[in-house]
Amino acid sequence: MSVPESAIQRAREILQSAERPLVIHDNDPDGAVSFCLVHSICGDARSVPFKNRPSVDESFLGKVVEHSPDLIVILDTSRVSIDFLERIKVPVLWVDHHEPAKDLLQQFPTIHCVNPRLWDDADSRPTSYWMYRIAQKNLWLATVGCVADWHLPDFLPEFRTHYKDLLPESITTIEQAYLDSKVGTLVRVIQFNLKGATSDVRKSMIALARIESPYEILLESTTRGRLLWKRYRALLPGYETLVAQAVAVVPDGKLHLFEYAGGEQTYTAELSNELLIRFPDRVTLIARSHEGKRKCSLRSRRIALPEIVAKALVGCEGHGGGHTNACGAVVREEDWQKFYARLRELVNGA
C-alpha cells in the first residue's frame, strides 16, 4: 500500500473526533460513496456535492457559514482554491487520487491529505478505496465505488465471501463488472440518483448513507432502498435510448464522437464509459451543449488524454483534465470546431 498506515490512522482519528463535518465531494459514484463512508464514522456529516464548478472555491463559503462545521472534508477532487482555504478557520481533511496539488499542500501544511500519488505517482486507486481503508466499514459500498471508478479492489475476495452473487468469480475484468454484474447495476443506481434537482439528490444521498445492505436496493426491501431503485428505473429508459444512438454513430477515424443536446438529465460520463467498453480500440468523446459551452467526457485505453486535451485547448476558452485514460473538458461553443479539429488530428496521429 503506497499510503503509510500512519496517514490512514491519522485520517481515521480526525474523523472520529469530528462532530459536525462538512463534506465537499465530487458528484459521481466515487465521491458519493466516499461521503457515505465518512458518514459511517460521523453520523452528522453533511453532504455538499461538487457540481458544475471548476473548483472548490469561495462559492462554498456560504455552506461553511450555514453549517458551522468543526471539520471540512474534501473528497475526490484536486481543484481547491487558495482563497477558499485562506478563509476557512477549521481543520481540513483531503482524500483524493488525482494529481496532488503539492504547492497548495506546502502552503497549508495543517491540511491532512490522503492521496496515494503523494507517495507513488502510479497509484491512482479511487477515493472510495482509501476511504474504506480509513473507515473500515461498508465493504459492499466501497466495492461499488471502486468498480464505478474502473478499479477491482484487492479486498474483492473478502467481498465475494459475503456477496458472491453480486460479483461472481466468473467475472474477471472491470468491463464485465461494470456492465454484466449486479455491482454494475448498483453503480448505475448511484449514478442516476445523483442526477436532477438538488433536493432530490439530497434525499438520495441521505438514503444511500443509511443503507445497510445492497439487497435493500436490489430487492426493494426497505423504504430507502425503494426510493433509490425507483429513481434508477425512472431514468433507465432515457439512458438506454442514448446508448443505442451513440452506438450507431460512425467513428471519425479513431475518434468516436457522440453529440447530444442534453435536457432534463445528462449522461455524459456514463455514455463515455459504456462506449469505451463496447469499442475499446477507439477514443470516445461524448459532448453536450449547455449554456454556450460544450461539456465533454473522454475515454481511451491507450492514449494519455489530459496531454492531448491540453494541446487541443490551446487558443480556446475552456479547461480540461483528469486521469490518464479518463478525463473531461469544457469548451466555449465558439471554439468547439477548432478544439475538435485539433483533437481529431492528435488522436488520429497518435
Which pLDDT tens digit goes with each residue over 284-313? Answer: 999 999 889 999 999 999 899 999 999 999
Q: Which of 235, 269, 285 is the last residue of a domain?
A: 235
Residue 240 inside a domain? The answer is no
Answer yes or no: do 226 and 282 share one domain: no
A 10 A CB-CB count for 106 gives: 9
How is residue 90 written as a grid cell? Answer: 477549521
Is 253 found in the same domain as 231? Answer: no
Q: How many CB atoms lie within 10 A of CB 178?
A: 20
Flag whether 106 is in a domain: yes
> Tens of pLDDT along 244-278?
999 999 999 999 999 998 666 889 889 999 999 99
Each residue's pLDDT tens digit, 174-198: 999 999 999 999 999 999 999 988 8
Residues 26 and 165 in one domain: yes
Whether residue 108 is found in the same domain as residue 195: yes
CATH classification of the domain holding 210: 3.90.1640.30
Averaged pLDDT for residues 127-135: 98
What percent of the chain is modeled with pLDDT above 90?
87
Cα-based distances in Å from 73 to 85, 177, 196, 263, 311: 12, 30, 24, 32, 33
Give domain status of residue 241, yes or no: no
**Looking at the structure, do residues 177 and 286 belong to the same domain, yes or no?**
no
Residues 208 and 284 in one domain: no
Residue 265 identity (one-letter amino acid): Q
pLDDT digits (tens, 9 = 90+) for 69-107: 999 999 999 889 999 999 999 999 999 999 899 999 999
Number of domains in the chain: 2
Please indicate, yes or no, whether residues 68 and 165 belong to a single structural domain of this protein. Answer: yes
Identify whether residues 144 and 227 lie together within a single domain.
yes
Residues 229 and 270 in one domain: no
The structure's pTM equals 0.91
End position of a domain, from candidates 202, 235, 268: 235
161 and 50 assigned to the same domain:
yes
Rounded distance, CA 347 to CA 350, Å? 5
Q: Is residue 213 part of a domain?
A: yes
Q: What is the CATH number of the domain that holds 306?
A: 3.10.310.40
Q: Please report, as a single letter, which amino acid is at residue 1.
A: M
Whether 155 maps to a domain, the answer reads yes
Residue 244 lies in a domain: no
Q: Are residues 345 and 266 in the same domain?
A: yes
Residue pair 51/87 in contact by the 8 Å Cβ criterion: no
**Do 22 and 157 reside in the same domain of the chain?**
yes
Residue 242 lies in a domain: no
Last residue of a domain, one of 235, 270, 303: 235
Within 10 Å of residue 286's Cβ, how many Cβ atoms?
A: 27
Question: What is the per-residue pLDDT for 197?
Answer: 87
**Is the pLDDT assigned to residue 26 strictly greater than 70?**
yes
Residue 130 sits in which domain range? 5-235
SS3 260: strand
Residue 46: phi and psi, rounded to 5, are -105, 135
